[in-house]
Amino acid sequence: MADSWEVLKLLADSTRVRILALLQREELSVAELQEILDMGQSRISSHLSLLRQGELVQDRRDGKKTFYGLASGTGSRVSELLHAVCHTVEDTDQIIADARNLSRAMEKRKRKAEEYFNSVAGRLGKNYCPGRSWEAIGHMLLHLTPKIRVADLGAGEGLLSQLLARQAEKVVCIDNSKKMVEFGSELAAKNGFTNLSYTLGDIEEVPLADSSVHLALLSQALHHAQHPEKAISEAHRILKKGGQVLILDLLEHNFEKARDLYADVWLGFSENKLYQFLQDAGFRRIEVNTVAREDRPPHFQTVLASAYK
């Protein structure tokens, strides 16, 4: 049984209490704890090692993965102490946020299991099939765009908006590059789009009126913003009530050369960080998921966020 004084020392650290509060609810891997707590692997592993030495947590191997949970047989006094400590902090903002992130992690685990069983249920799409590509499917789905007003924030040349304009009522592209605005405007005129316009402006101070669009897009633009939370707040401001924001950006990574190669200000964003940005801006019905991973190094991953005003 763990020494009571050692247990008290372990519980004096807020990060370890957060981990224990989570493990009270679910067995979790280090990777899942990383995602929930938004912390590095080495930091979490260090705390888990101390908790394991103190006989407060135990690990379980499941194939290539290791899961951590509260240790069994800790004794009634230690169990009561753990329960009391976790109960004391359960109404704090941090613990509430951890619980929310835990729910999202459990949903992701569930989806992953469903995807596996779906994949083995049939083999359609596993092999090459003539004419089937994401590019072709994307073109087809764009024809479902309703007659709405769209703001493409940080649009660049606005290639996505060129496609959306075929169906949308109006599409406005905002970009802070004069050359991009000139090129996009020329391309729109060449293709005969009268409902597509380009405006020079900053995504942190969007030159559009309040509640003026139904859909705001931030496609690979947010990691170029100096203050990404401001860009998301601006998206909220220009959206009509019930309007939607869609964010497509890089998942947080460590490829530092991106700052020089692509003028990136931020090295992507974690799912939790995007969720927090959207929540702080006042959005609801928030969903954030990693949707793609590149095969070539540095294996950039893409995250898609959706929310409503």
Query: pLDDT tens digits, residue range 66-89?
Result: 999 998 877 778 888 888 998 999
Q: What pLDDT does 144 receive?
A: 76
pLDDT in tens, 139-163: 676 777 889 999 999 998 888 888 8
- Enumerate the domain spans of the chain: 4-116, 135-308
pLDDT in tens, 7-46: 888 899 999 999 999 999 999 999 999 999 999 999 999 9
If one counts every other C-beta atom within 10 angstroms of the C-beta of residue 184, the result is: 25
277/231 Cα distance (integer angstroms): 10
- Residue 65: which pLDDT band, with cuts at 50, 70 and 90? confident
- Going across the sheet that includes 196-200, the strands are 196-200, 170-175, 149-153, 213-219, 239-250, 301-308, 284-293
Q: What pLDDT does 123 receive?
A: 52
179/84 Cα distance (integer angstroms): 61
Q: What pLDDT does 129 receive?
A: 54
Q: What is the pTM of this model?
A: 0.66
* pLDDT(92) > 90: yes
CA-nearest of 180, 181, 244 to 218 is 244
Q: What pLDDT does 81 receive?
A: 86
pLDDT in tens, 250-299: 999 999 999 888 889 999 999 999 999 999 999 999 999 999 999 999 99
Please tell me the total number of residues recorded for the chain in this structure.
Answer: 309
* pLDDT(196) > 90: yes
Of 72-86, 108-122, 166-180, 230-244, minimum mean pLDDT range? 108-122
Residue 180, token pair as written in the block:
């991009």
CA-nearest of 23, 32, 15 to 272 is 32
Of 3.40.1260.10, 1.10.10.10, 3.40.50.150, 1.20.1090.10, which CATH number belongs to 4-116?
1.10.10.10
Fold of 135-308: Rossmann fold (3.40.50)
pLDDT averaged over every residue in the chain: 88
* pLDDT(134) > 70: no
Residue 263, token pair as written in the block:
């003028």
Of 61-70, 87-96, 117-126, minimum mean pLDDT range? 117-126
* pLDDT(118) > 80: no
The 3-state DSSP class for residue 244 equals strand
Who contacts 174 (Cβ-Cβ below 8 Å, separation ≥6)?
A: 151, 152, 153, 154, 155, 199, 201, 202, 203, 206, 207, 208
